[in-house]
Structure 1
Amino acid sequence: MASHRRPKQPSRARVSVFGAAAAATVALSSQSAHADPNPSKAEVKERVDELHEEATEITEEYNGAMEQEEQLKEEAEELQTSVARGQEELNELRNSVGSVASAQYRNGGMTPSVQLFLSADPDGYLDRASTLDQVTGKQAEVLRNIESKQRTLAQQREEATTKLETLEETRAEIKEKKDAIQAKLGEARELLNRLTEEERQQLQAEERAAEAEAQRQAEAAADRASRSEGRTDSPSATTTTPVADSGSGSSYAQSAISAAQSKIGSPYVFGNTGPHSFDCSGLTGWAYKQAGISLPRTSQAQANAGTRVSQSQLQPGDLVFYYAGITHVGIYVGNGQILHAPRTGSTVSYAGVNSMPFQFGVRVA
């Protein structure tokens, strides 16, 4: 399995996800089978972070394929419904012509006009006829309606068949990407299992400490904002979900932040969009949906959902994007903090805005 390492950024710490990897219960990849049997704690930390970043990249592709599957299902169903409805209309037209033919046959024979209606190729029959005097204007109109519906039905059936074939290909792609994600997580778990119990506990403690520090900073910043506005009630004293800076950010942004804060502690599950579990873009999309704004499904698509801003221009509610492939997204809550759904095994939590390789922000509203 190839490793897609990116250049290290010494000024920006990478998020630890060791508790996350321990939760994965999947098969091991072929690469891990040939890895160093006794890696150091630092080597495990680096490789596990890489594996989770790679899994996140595939998760974005997985989410895109899931979205395409849903769209293809809807389009195929609409086409099939349209075909069924069109077939009923065509049958009614043919039945009306058949009734006339039966009556004429019983009375001694069919007129040329009715023979024309019953032609296997009515359009060609009309084209070859030297004159349309042999049929009434109304009969010619019905005949052309029959021919038009036959063409439309043939085209819709072909489109529906193509959609269904593409749908099956997409479902196969989804399974392939899901297996790839699980393989990455499986390798991360196997690496962690090579460490001693003490080393694993140290890594998990470091991760918990980083999350606790981010939470503390967010609460302290919210408390300072509250005091500067003259309020005597301290948000940090009454809740573990501090509000963002109240001096900036639209009402939509503030509503999205509040929604995201209500999900602190909810588990990360790749492909999920809430309300009980989320992946990164699932959380941001769900939060803004509660504020009345619809966002695209993937982080790459959400990156084009508003106006791009630099880190110095960030306001509470802005979406923040990470890694060169734009494979991770969170919500800026102010004072250098974000809320996000990190990775498998973790939960919705706060983090520093520079805890991952920052790319840019996007102001949605």
Structure 2
Amino acid sequence: MAAHRKPRTRILASSGTAGRRTAVGMTAALASVTLLSQNAGADDKPSLSEVQKQVDELYHQAGVATQKYNQAKERTSTQRTTVNKQLDEVAERTQKLNDARRTLGSYAAAQYRNGGIGPEATLMLADDPQSYFEQNHLMDRLTGRQQEAVKDFRSQQTAANKKRAEATKSLETLTKSQEELRTSKATVQSKLSEARKLLSKLTAEEKARLAAIERAKEAEAKRKAEEAARKAEAERQAELERQKREEAQQEEDAGSDSGSGSGDSGSDSGSSTSQYDKVLAFAKAQLGEPYVWGATGPNSWDCSGFTQGAYKAAGISLPRTTYDQVNMGTKITNKSDLKPGDMVFFYEDVTHVGIYVGNGQMIHAPKPGANVRYESVDYMPFHSGARVL
């Protein structure tokens, strides 16, 4: 009997061992899944350079919308002035029309007192006397003064209707521009909000690194620009000394007439140089001022507002947007041909602009969250330059 007993203890021991192995296996599997999940999450997180690239693209898109906003704002302002003027003209014409209507009414009243309402009085009281005349051929029965009153009424009525039509059309255009203004503003705000959300996901250490990269780039651009300025000034002084020596030699060899002619030529060149100096001096004075989209100074700027302000300091009037500024002066297609004081434009859609200062550097109002600063002209895709002076 005993020989036929089942080895319960061994079976139980075996079952327990298997259970423990299963439990260990499940724990390991769960740990592996968790680790893989964590690794996948880490892999999904964009790198700092990728975040910066995405943010820069959003800022570019915001820049596009900003230029459209500036364009619509300028157009809206102009159209509002036009509409106000036209409405004043409508009011003036309406007043003249009412005066003409009162004149006809006085004639009709006089006729009524003399014999009741006849066809002539009906003609003069009609909303459109000329139309009534065409149907009833009564003009020949009116006096010369009455006929002139009817003609004057018709003329004033035509003019008033024309002014009303012009004002109505302008109001429709103004409404369209105002809608474009609202749309562009909403787009700017949306793109800037997306950029802020991306930046908010960075750790404190990543934000510090990003800020350090920006500061290093700005410092390097400033160093190169200052070095270029010193070099340019040294070359200018050397050129002036050379010109003085040549002029002195010419005076000795050919007399004062030749020297006087050289002086006139130098004066023309000096005038242009003086204007460039004013542009660059203004640009440098704004270093550190914040970028604010749609701003035109005096304490904050967007890119085209900045260039507009700089050239205004030199007595040059520029249009408001990059779309129009790019068509000013002489176009420059090669970066190597740029000279200090030229405007330099970026992106295929011409949505950013700066002021060239030499040695491959510019001063510009870059983007939200940044200040007016030096930057390499290679920082963004080059489009063209413009030499206005």
Is the TM-score greater than 0.5?
yes
Distance in 2 separating the partners of 1:109 and 1:159: 41
For 2:105, the equivalent position in structure 1 comes to 98
* CA shift for structure 1 position 358: 0.8
Equivalent in 329, 349, 354 of residue 306 of structure 1: 329
Amino acid at match of 1:107: N
Distance in 1 separating the partners of 2:145 and 2:110: 19
Deviations 1:333-365 (A, max 9, x none): 223221211111111111122221111111122
For 1:205, the equivalent position in structure 2 comes to 212
For 2:362, the equivalent position in structure 1 comes to 338
**Contact 1:264 1:348 (C-alpha < 8 Å) held by counterparts:** yes
Amino acid at match of 1:46: K
Amino acid at match of 1:329: V
* CA shift for structure 1 position 319: 1.3
* CA shift for structure 1 position 308: 0.6
Amino acid at match of 2:90: V
Which shifted more, 168-177 or 281-290? 168-177
Amino acid at match of 2:213: E
Distance in 2 separating the partners of 1:90 and 1:37: 74
For 1:353, the equivalent position in structure 2 comes to 377
Query: SS of the residue aligned with 1:266?
Result: coil
Distance in 2 separating the partners of 1:272 and 1:68: 16
Query: SS of the residue aligned with 2:340?
Result: coil
For 1:50, the equivalent position in structure 2 comes to 57
Runs of at least 5 residues in structure 2 that lack an aligned partner in the other structure: 1-42, 239-268
Equivalent in 163, 166, 177 of residue 170 of structure 2: 163
* CA shift for structure 1 position 312: 2.4
**Contact 1:39 1:194 (C-alpha < 8 Å) held by counterparts:** no
**Contact 2:75 2:177 (C-alpha < 8 Å) held by counterparts:** yes
Distance in 2 separating the partners of 1:111 and 1:250: 82
Change (3 A) 1:348 1:181: same
For 2:227, the equivalent position in structure 1 comes to 220
Q: Following superposition of structure 1 onto structure 2, how do residues 230-245 of structure 1 map, counting pairs within 5 Å?
A: 230=237
Distance in 2 separating the partners of 1:317 and 1:228: 17
Distance in 2 separating the partners of 1:155 and 1:78: 14
Amino acid at match of 2:155: S
Q: Alignment RMSD, CA only?
A: 2.5
Distance in 2 separating the partners of 1:197 and 1:268: 23
**Contact 2:343 2:354 (C-alpha < 8 Å) held by counterparts:** yes
Amino acid at match of 1:82: E
Change (3 A) 1:251 1:109: farther
* CA shift for structure 1 position 165: 3.5
Which shifted more, 50-59 or 121-130? 121-130
Deviations 1:85-111 (A, max 9, x none): 111111122222323332332333467
Query: Are positions 1:64 and 2:71 aligned together?
Result: yes
* CA shift for structure 1 position 126: 3.8
- The two structures have a TM-score, normalised by structure 1, of 0.78
**Contact 2:332 2:385 (C-alpha < 8 Å) held by counterparts:** yes
Distance in 2 separating the partners of 1:228 and 1:248: 18
Query: SS of the residue aligned with 1:73?
Result: helix
Distance in 2 separating the partners of 1:76 and 1:274: 28
Distance in 2 separating the partners of 1:208 and 1:324: 27
Query: Are positions 1:76 and 2:76 aligned together?
Result: no
Distance in 2 separating the partners of 1:42 and 1:67: 37
Higher helix share: 2
Kindly name which structure, 1 or 2, has the bigger radius of gyration based on alpha carbons. Answer: 2
Change (3 A) 1:142 1:261: farther
- The two structures have a TM-score, normalised by structure 2, of 0.74
Query: SS of the residue aligned with 1:68?
Result: helix
* CA shift for structure 1 position 227: 3.3
Distance in 2 separating the partners of 1:247 and 1:215: 27
Distance in 2 separating the partners of 1:326 and 1:183: 21
Distance in 2 separating the partners of 1:68 and 1:293: 21
For 1:281, the equivalent position in structure 2 comes to 304
Query: SS of the residue aligned with 1:133?
Result: helix
- Which structure ranks higher in relative contact order (CA pairs < 8 Å, sequence separation ≥ 6)? 1
Distance in 2 separating the partners of 1:328 and 1:99: 66
Deviations 1:33-72 (A, max 9, x none): xxx8622111111111111111111111111221222122
Query: Are positions 1:328 and 2:352 aligned together?
Result: yes
Which shifted more, 146-155 or 199-208? 146-155
For 2:28, the equivalent position in structure 1 comes to none
For 1:260, the equivalent position in structure 2 comes to 283
Amino acid at match of 1:72: Q
Query: SS of the residue aligned with 2:379?
Result: coil
Query: Are positions 1:363 and 2:387 aligned together?
Result: yes
Equivalent in 150, 154, 172 of residue 147 of structure 1: 154
